[in-house]
Amino acid sequence: MTSPTLYALTGAALIGIGFYGLIEAQHLLRRVITFNLIGSGLFVFLGAVGARNDGFDPIPQALIITGIVVALSASALAVGLVVAHSRASGRATFPEEDEDA
């Protein structure tokens, strides 16, 4: 086993852990956090892909940096939505039964 393999497997496991958290989570803030877990798991996998070759491949690194910034943007908007929604409705859990509200 080489270290890129180790990190790739870690990344794969993180994706599963994150999706489990996403399904399980009731608190909306926790859901936003699990999105970040899944995203970073994917990035670790991609990073391992970049480290797999002997030559230095900067493209995955650039993609990951872009991805991290995009993830932060999405998290910031999501967190803002959660706070605004909680203020309007008084709860921070997922609204299940207001389809037509």
Site for other proteins in 46-85 (CB under 8 A): 46-53, 55-85
Tell me how far apart the alpha carbons of residues 33 and 101 are, in angstroms, rounded to a whole number: 27
Q: How far is the CB of 98 from other proteins (least distance, A)?
A: 6
Evaluate whether 22 touches 31 at the Cβ level (below 8 Å). yes
Least distance (Å) from other proteins to the CB of residue 57? Answer: 5
Identify residues 14-43 at the interface with other proteins (CB under 8 A). 14-24, 26-40, 42-43
Helix 58-89, helix 28-52: angle, nearest 10: 180
As measured in angstroms, the least distance from the Cβ of 2 to other proteins is 8
